[in-house]
Amino acid sequence: MTGRTSSCGWGSNMKPHRLVAVLLLLCVPALAGAPEWLREAARAPLPAYKDDVRGVQVYSEQVTRVMESGEIRTTYRKAFRILRSQGRDLGELVVYFDKETKLSSLMGWTIPAKGGEYEVKEKDAIETMLFNDSFYEDTRYKLLRLPEAEPGSVVGFEFEQRHRPFALEDVWSFQKDIPTRKARYMLVLPAGWEMKAHWRNHPEVQPSGSGGSYIWEVADVPEIKSEPSMPTVRAVAARLAVVLIPPSAAKGTSHGSWNDVGKWYAGLTSGRRTSSPEIQRKVAELTRGATSPLDKIRALAAFAQRDVRYVAIEIGIGGYQPNYAASVFNNKYGDCKDKVTLLSTMLRDIGMESHYVVVHTERGYVARDFASMNNFNHVVLAIKVPDSLETKDLHSVVTHPKLGRLLIFDPTDSRTPVGYLPPSLQSNHGLLVTEEGGEMIDLPLQQPVANQLQRVGNLKLDPDGTLSGEVREVRFGANAVEYRAELIAMEKPQRVQKMESFLSTFLTGFTLNDYQVENLEEYDKELIVKYSFTAKGYAKSAGPLTLIRPRVFGSKSGGIFDLKERRYAVELDAPTLHTDEFRITLPDGMVADELPPPVNATSGAISYSSASTFENKVLQYKRTYKIEQVYLPLPSLEEWNKVNRRIVADERSSAVLKRMQ
């Protein structure tokens, strides 16, 4: 994983949700009759929708039939009315299939507003594969596009998939980015089978039906409307998940608890962490000269992060089961679970135990009260650290009541060093897997001090209003990781342009005189950026007075949210601590006549303070900006807005200077 929303090769549970660039198919539709269920959906009256709603799902049906053998056959029916031109994409469908999931049938129809009916069959679809970060996977896609998918038309699809899941579960996802008028889910079980239903982000609905047949219906489900800084769609979307329980364990794999899921994964990984002479020699080479357990961990972790290429090969159970450590080492490539397996093996060679932790890279997706292997898309490592190890500078340590202190580390993230976690994993949940089974643990939310930006500017103001000087910026934690990743992807001229673009937001008529970066590829060290500039006309004359903004550059406002129609909470990346200090030496004979008032504002997640002083010819501005939480409930956003309005006002404030008579 190289970015905040990336995932590794973890199973096939993500396939129906992946974003795909749909091809425009130039098929010749046949004039044919649409099925009665689609005609009925087309006749149903609709309420009025706002002008920004591009379409509505007028009907959705999912019928899941479970066979005695454990095979699952699911029929999907979907009908949409296109309201505006932006909704033409509702006439396009992407369906996946692979070795484990067969596509039995696929059809689509259009009922245009002007009359007539069109039918498109599976033979009219284009088969393709998805280009992503997997080296190879057996997943393929059928892409189907309906004709006459224009405003006023009703389009519909019907398809059936057959698969034998690794765990007996089914999911009904009925909320989309457009309103849903009516949705129906039917589950048919063999005699003697039972089910356990779990609702997420929707009030529980009791099913109707009898004799192993269950039917759930919902109506007028609102769309998921994109909002700034909202939680991931997966975390807020309504859905029903069902655990299928056969009369005998021999019928299939049914996970009723997190311990069951952990046992299942422990079985998949059993025997995979066997070392080899080649691995042992490499471990000895990497740890030679290391004087402490932490130095050894860092040496082995760096190898797994950067010397083992990320390559995902997802075929069947290979989407969940790691390769053998020796194979990963010899090939020098693997996905997240492979990197974890190799690193765990190397740590064991120096006497350190570690455990798999399976996670989801989108915070809030995992439901602690519903045990499912399909909750996850990534694997990290929990390293048991010695009691003698000082951990105050390690910000990703959790204490387990039985296992002791565990250092959580992601070897797939090539730039986040030992002791830190990528923001998406902080304040997240993970399944800790041991030989005895599994249990959910809370991954740590790092303190603001672990994620810092420190900026200090030593500047001078000339009599003509020109401001010049040097600035030093130091970044730690996620602030360093993100900025470092951007700079590494650039050549030096592009880095200079990036800095110039930043300065141009706050200064006019400036020249960047010098630019240097330190520790760019030394990931365990802070990232340091030094630069100097000259900005003509920075100070403005106002008669006998001069106006100057003490906060020279840098914006700390976390955004002011429109709360009139907002539905969702705000989710931030990670806690952070920013400090700015600008020291401006004034010309001889010039003094501060009036300074901006100090600011102290706080509201739960955010705190901000600033102050301007003048002494010995130096106008000094200091401020501190701190974020301590990542999840802001909707009721707290008004206070958030108040603090950020004060920040904006402070950043715009000026000091008044005058010349001594």
DSSP 8-class letter at 559? -
pLDDT the model gives residue 316: 60
Mean pLDDT computed over every residue of the chain: 91
Give backbone dihedrals phi and psi of 476, rounded to 5 degrees, phi first.
Answer: -125, 160
Residues in contact with 501: Cβ distance below 8 Å, sequence separation at least 6, in sequence order: none
* Beta strand extents in 401-553 (DSSP E only): 404-409, 429-434, 437-442, 452-461, 467-475, 510-518, 527-535, 540-542, 545-548
**In this model, does residue 31 exceed pLDDT 90?**
no
Q: What is the pLDDT of residues 502-513, one digit of tens each?
A: 999 999 999 999
CA gap 87, 150 in Å, rounded: 8
Name the burial class of residue 361, with classes exposed (0-12), middle (13-18) and buried (19+) by CB atoms within 10 angstroms of its CB.
buried
- Topology of the domain comprising 22-251: Immunoglobulin-like (2.60.40)
User: Do 572 and 228 form a contact (C-beta atoms < 8 A)?
Assistant: no
**In this model, does residue 84 exceed pLDDT 60?**
yes
- The CATH code that applies to domain 258-445 is 3.10.620.30
User: Do 162 and 339 form a contact (C-beta atoms < 8 A)?
Assistant: no
Q: What is the pLDDT of residues 217-261, one digit of tens each?
A: 999 999 999 999 999 999 999 999 999 988 875 444 667 789 999
**In this model, does residue 449 exceed pLDDT 60?**
yes
Strands 545-548 and 527-535: unpaired
CA gap 156, 516 in Å, rounded: 58
CA gap 71, 78 in Å, rounded: 23
pLDDT the model gives residue 207: 96
Query: For 349, how many CA atoms within 13 A lie in the half-sphere containing its CB?
Result: 26
* Beta strand extents in 15-137 (DSSP E only): 30-31, 55-66, 72-82, 92-97, 101-111, 118-121, 126-128, 134-137
* 3-class secondary-structure state, position 339: helix
Q: What is the pLDDT of residues 457-497, one digit of tens each?
A: 999 999 999 999 999 999 999 999 999 999 999 999 999 99
- Single out the residue of 366, 75, 313, 391 nearest to residue 200, CA to CA: 366
More confident residue, 124 or 514: 514
pLDDT the model gives residue 69: 87
CA gap 222, 203 in Å, rounded: 14
Sequence spans of domains, the chain: 22-251, 258-445, 449-659
Strands 213-221 and 101-111: unpaired
User: Do 582 and 550 form a contact (C-beta atoms < 8 A)?
Assistant: yes
Q: How many residues does the chain have?
A: 661
* 3-class secondary-structure state, position 233: helix
Query: Which tokens is 467 given?
Result: 């401001």
Q: What is the pLDDT of residues 544-601, one digit of tens each?
A: 999 999 999 999 988 899 999 999 999 999 999 999 999 999 999 999 999 999 999 9
Task: Give whole-number Cα distances, 290 to 10, 183, 285, in Å.
Answer: 34, 61, 10
Q: What is the pLDDT of residues 349-374, one digit of tens each?
A: 999 999 999 999 999 999 888 888 88
pLDDT the model gives residue 139: 76
User: Do 649 and 642 form a contact (C-beta atoms < 8 A)?
Assistant: no
Query: Which tokens is 402 given?
Result: 């039985």
Query: Which tokens is 591 given?
Result: 């003094």
pLDDT the model gives residue 98: 81
CA gap 631, 608 in Å, rounded: 18
Task: Give whole-number Cα distances, 411 to 318, 445, 449, in Å.
Answer: 19, 19, 23
- Single out the residue of 589, 6, 10, 660 nearest to residue 334, CA to CA: 10
Domain 449-659 class, CATH top level: mainly beta
- Single out the residue of 426, 424, 360 nearest to residue 395, CA to CA: 426
Prediction pTM value: 0.89
* 3-class secondary-structure state, position 97: strand
Percentage of the chain surpassing pLDDT 90? Answer: 80
* 3-class secondary-structure state, position 510: strand
Among 303-317, 621-635, 641-655, where is mean pLDDT lowest? 303-317
Banded model confidence at residue 286, pLDDT cuts 50, 70, 90 = very high
